[in-house]
Copies of this chain bind each other. A is one copy, B any other.
Amino acid sequence: MEFTIRNAEKRDTPRMLELVNELALFEKEPHAVLVTLAELTAAGFGEKPLFHCFVAEANGKVQGMALVYPRYSTWVGPVIHLEDLIVSESHRGSGIGSALLEQVVLYGKEQGVRRISWEVLDWNDPAIAFYEARGARVMRDWNVVQLDEKGMETFLKK
């Protein structure tokens, strides 16, 4: 299958949001996406972009995306975080995921970071196998913690 990897543009945001929703469904969180198209567009393509996004285009349609932004580690300094690596279900196994991840690693190297980080669901065996085959370390002893909007309110009321 032929595809090209390029930087996302403002016109891509409707398709990007579709892919984000497709992933949320796969991750059994179909109602978790609160971000609107206007918010995503403003965040990514306004004056101070909050992320950078690469997309994979096949036959004129975006079928995959990798969304990254900088983080800071007090151990290794500036790092790149891969928030989403998504390939539409119809295009899995086409090499798009590998090509997007390679683009992210190149981007990290250009930025001079010592690490690229991301998160994975522990039951997502195909994703874990994919990452480990590419040299990434899945740190099963490190869990993600979240305090959501309601939790923040409750915390401050106490």
> What residues of chain A have their CB less than 8 Å away from a CB belonging to chain B?
16, 20, 24, 29, 32-35, 39-40, 43, 50-51, 67, 69-78, 81, 83-84, 101-102, 105-106, 108-109, 114-123, 131, 134-149, 151-152, 154-156
The answer to whether B71 and A114 touch across the interface, beta carbons within 8 angstroms, is: no
Q: How far is the CA of A5 from the CA of B84 in the complex (A)?
A: 35
Q: Shortest beta-carbon distance, A27 to chain B, in Å?
A: 10
The answer to whether A139 and B144 touch across the interface, beta carbons within 8 angstroms, is: yes
Residues in chain B near residue A152, CB distance under 8 A: 105, 108-109, 115-116
Q: How far is the CA of A75 from the CA of B144 in the complex (A)?
A: 15
Residues in chain B near residue A138, CB distance under 8 A: 143, 145
Q: Shortest beta-carbon distance, A40 to chain B, in Å?
A: 7
The answer to whether A123 and B145 touch across the interface, beta carbons within 8 angstroms, is: no
The answer to whether A34 and B109 touch across the interface, beta carbons within 8 angstroms, is: no
Q: How far is the CA of A122 from the CA of B143 in the complex (A)?
A: 6
